[in-house]
């Protein structure tokens, strides 16, 4: 009688819509209009712990304390987490919102790493950009994106990790989450990241706002970290920020 598959959630889950269908479905729902935060926030100048637009992930769904998402994205993540758990899949969140200062710490540490010392600035930046965003350009600044299960690509090739990503690819769209850095040879930018999922009802309009500002020349400059001067020559907005799952641009 208590078979979870008879619940409304399970029925939705089993419909397995594509990401685009899920987005269309979300678009037609009665939802609050999306409020796009100021550009400075989208460039990472946020303090999630002190901002009422964000909420902390409960310990049961995350690998450590202090992970935050925007409240709407967190609500959707928790629904997705519970649905996966019913299917025996555990979607542990490893990373969520990362402010500019945190991203700059990661970037500067890699920039000054002994292995990078012999490299010219452009090559050094390109090497870091395989997996890490330039400060100011990370989707993790937005509070809409979450890293799930493992940050090691090979962990998704077999075993539990393969089950996790297969579940996400079948079901995450129902909850508004979309894989961003897909394995697509035509995609520019970062290496594939099976762990990185984005709450598209918010991150879609946020990306649009960044692109609109960039087109108009009103996007604040990328600065305040090592090697910031190579940002323009690397076309980070065009090739990295927009180097995403082609379905997201449809
Ligand atoms: Zn990520």
| Ligand 1 centroid – CA 4 distance (Å) | 31
- CA-nearest of 225, 234, 208 to 39 is 208
pLDDT, residue 115, reads 87
Domain ranges of the chain: 4-249
Residue 25 pLDDT level (bands cut at 50, 70, 90) = low
- Rounded to an integer, what distance in angstroms lies between the CA atom of residue 133 and that of residue 124? 13
Which top CATH class is 4-249?
Answer: alpha beta
pLDDT above 50: residue 22: yes
pLDDT above 90: residue 30: no
| Ligand 1 centroid – CA 2 distance (Å) | 36
| Ligand 1 centroid – CA 7 distance (Å) | 31
pLDDT, residue 131, reads 86
Mean pLDDT for 22-27 is 62
Task: Quick: pLDDT tens for 200-250.
Answer: 999 999 999 999 999 999 999 999 999 999 999 999 999 999 999 988 865
| Ligand 1 centroid – CA 30 distance (Å) | 29
Query: What predicted TM-score, i.e. pTM, was given to this entire model?
Result: 0.86
pLDDT above 70: residue 24: no
| Ligand 1 centroid – CA 166 distance (Å) | 18
């Amino acid at each position: 009688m208590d078979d979870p598959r008879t619940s409304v959630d399970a029925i939705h889950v089993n419909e397995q819509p594509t990401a685009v269908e899920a987005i269309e479905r979300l678009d037609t729902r009665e939802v609050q209009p999306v409020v796009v935060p100021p550009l400075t926030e989208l460039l990472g100048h946020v303090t999630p712990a002190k901002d009422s637009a964000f909420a902390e992930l409960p310990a049961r769904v995350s690998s450590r304390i202090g992970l935050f998402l925007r409240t709407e994205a967190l609500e959707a993540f928790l629904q997705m987490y519970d649905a996966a758990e019913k299917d025996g899949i555990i979607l542990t969140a490893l990373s969520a919102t990362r402010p500019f200062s945190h991203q700059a710490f990661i970037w500067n540490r890699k920039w000054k790493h002994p292995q990078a010392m012999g490299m010219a600035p452009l090559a050094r930046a390109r090497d870091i950009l395989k997996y890490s965003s330039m400060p100011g350009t990370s989707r993790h600044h937005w509070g809409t994106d979450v890293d799930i299960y493992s940050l090691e690509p090979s962990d998704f090739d077999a075993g539990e990790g393969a089950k996790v990503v297969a579940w996400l690819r079948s079901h995450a769209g129902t909850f508004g989450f979309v894989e961003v850095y897909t394995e697509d040879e035509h995609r520019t930018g970062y290496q594939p990241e099976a762990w990185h999922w984005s709450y598209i009802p918010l991150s879609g309009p946020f990306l649009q706002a960044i692109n609109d500002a960039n087109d108009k020349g009103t996007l604040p400059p990328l600065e305040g970290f090592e090697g910031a001067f190579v940002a323009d020559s690397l076309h980070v907005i065009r090739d990295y920020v927009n180097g995403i799952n082609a379905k997201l641009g449809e």
